Amino acid sequence: MLLGTQHINDRGHLEIGGCDTAELAEQFGTPLYVMDEQAVRDNCRRYVTAFAEAYPGESKVTYAGKAFLIQAMARLIDEEGLGLDVASAGELHTALTAGFPAERILMHGNNKSDAELAMGLDAGIGRFVVDNFFELRRLSAMAVARGKRQPILIRVTPGIDPKTHRRIRTGQEDTKFGINISEGSALAAVTEALRDLPGVELTGIHCHIGSQLLDPHTHEQAIEVMCAFLAEIKKTTGFTVADLDIGGGLGVRYLESQDPPSYEEFAKLIVGRLLSELKKHDLPLPRLWQEPGRTLVAEAGTTLYTIGHTKRVLLPDAPGERFYVSVDGGMSDNPRPQLYDAVYSAMVANRAGQPKDKTVTIAGKHCETDILIWDLPLGDTDAGDLLAVQTTGAYNQAMASNYNRFTRPAVVFVRNGTADVVVERETLDDVIRQDRLPARLRK
């Protein structure tokens, strides 16, 4: 499963962006996040083009920064002409300090603080995605105090329960996100925004049903519900919604057996259903907003580890033994196997073409049973070999921690044979930088 610009070079090494992974590991150390910059750019362009060609109205693609957001990524997204959605003061600060245009930023969050609302208002961001009545009223009051009228989308829950892990489902009614359509709360929020809140300008409706969705038909169901809601808004209030944001969630390949639809297939399916539902309800074409995250960056990321010792365990049942291959990272640089039962593919990067005729279990080095990959066909391994775990560009670096006081890995962008450090590896002094010793505990 070679992804993006990956290939096996004449030394038998995995190469990404024209850079030999063995040389990357030697130069920058491991664990190391390697981002295939050209693959990210190609994904952005293909996604934008797929919907621009399929949809006769205006299409806006906004990258979901929660998947992977550093200053270099914000610059890349700006250069590719996408918008950016953020969900915290930290993500907003990252975008603004990287020079990302505030007017192309959407701000999410189910419990935005006054400080975050103020930060977005003062920066002049393009849209707030309002998640609840409390935020709606507070945002209006704060905008009025600044002499502003802030454009907003209202996030609603369409009542769609997608087929994905329970911790990344967000479109069902029983969720912390958004305002429910079925009980009438969403319509009440729209009505209040239009009639009673001078500080906000309602431009549209937003929904997001979940993440890592390999079956796009749940998106079709959401569009059906959302278009019916747009018709109800128009009938009840006379207001025609200009912006329809259907979120993101398109899945990616973590395993060779997974087969998500291509961007082009996804665009045709989504647009086809949207046009049909708009015609049924006699509605004009809205601006179609989307928030792809994982699908743009996940397959572009590879994490490199150095292999340490291997432990053989005898089992009473077939196959009779298990080989635990330990690496120099684990749940501090990739918590997703523990959080979401996530699965991954991998190869021995310094002999990438070898037969995968030996099954091993990849173990992290934390004081936990932090198994990265169970029962992985990998082939022979020796201490000092380099393990490359595929599809780690989304929610790995973003969720990394200092558990066991580990230092977080460096990030490099690779493209056309050049590797640039875009996040420095933390040092041990970085780990203790915020620690403080009161006088009574000082030696």
What is the amino acid identity at position 39?
Answer: A
Q: What is the pLDDT of residue 164?
A: 45
Chain-centre distance for alpha carbon 188 = 31
pLDDT at 443: 83
Query: 305 is written with which tokens?
Result: 């580890």
Residue whose structure tokens are 């992804």: 3
pTM value > 0.75: yes
Q: What does the block give as tokens for 433? A: 């930088």
CATH class of 7-36+298-431: mainly beta
Q: What is the per-residue pLDDT for 167?
A: 44
> Which among 240, 277, 244 has a CA at the least distance from the CA of 51?
244
All CATH 3.20.20.10 domain ranges in the chain, comma separated: 108-292
Backbone angles phi, psi at 212, to 5 degrees: 55, 50
CATH 2.40.37.10 domain extents, the chain? 7-36+298-431
Give the pLDDT confidence score for residue 299 in this predicted structure: 98
What integer pLDDT is reported at residue 168 of this predicted model?
40
The dihedrals phi and psi of 250, each to the nearest 5 degrees, come to -60, 130
pLDDT at 172: 57
Domain 108-292: which topology? TIM Barrel (3.20.20)
Which residues does the chain have with pLDDT short of 70?
161-173
Active site residues: 367
